[in-house]
Amino acid sequence: MPTVQQLIPHRPPFLFVDEIVAQTEDTLVARRTWRAEEDFYRGHYPGAPITPGVLLCEAVFQTGALLLSGKLGGEGKLAGLPLLAKVENVRFRNPVYPGDTTSCEVKINATAGGFYLMSGCMKLGDKRVLSVDFSVVWKIPEART
């Protein structure tokens, strides 16, 4: 199985998936341990660190990018980037603290015009942390002049 960094362009400090745990044609499960030394914990919140919800969502989105890359024949050979097109129905249920190991599960629900409509969730053990619906397109971004 290819590694995370062979499949998607994200790199530390903005890589929020450690490893792929399981994969089928339309689903992928990945894992992430949230490390206490990560810089964002210094400001969110000092003395009571909690993982920012936007970064938890990003971990799910990166898991979706891993699924698409594998499905599209990735391993560093794909032109373009996974671009987030839509986010909806985000629900946060439990916080994530430094040292916690979470799993992200994503699935492709449909495709339309090059867009992949996906759903994902994050769990901490058997507790659901969040659920989200989102759409991704894999394309070459337009050049900025």
Residue 101 sits in a domain whose CATH number is: 3.10.129.10
3-state DSSP helix/strand/coil percent for the chain, to nearest 5? 20, 40, 40
Q: In the predicted model, what is the mean pLDDT of the chain? A: 94
Q: Does 144 fall in a domain?
A: no
pLDDT at 22: 97
Residue 36 has pLDDT above 90, yes or no: yes
Residue 10 designated active-site: no
pLDDT at 144: 73
Q: How far is CA 102 from CA 6, 86, 117, in A?
A: 21, 23, 23
Token pair of 49, please?
A: 């660190």
Backbone angles phi, psi at 27, to 5 degrees: -140, 155
Neighbours of 94 (CB within 10 A): 15
Q: Does 105 fall in a domain?
A: yes
Domain count, the chain: 1
* Residue range(s) defining the domain that contains residue 65: 4-139
pLDDT at 62: 98
The one catalytic residue in 23, 27, 38, 44 is 44
pLDDT at 74: 66
- Higher-confidence position of 126 and 80: 126
Size of the chain in residues: 145
Token pair of 9, please?
A: 């362009």
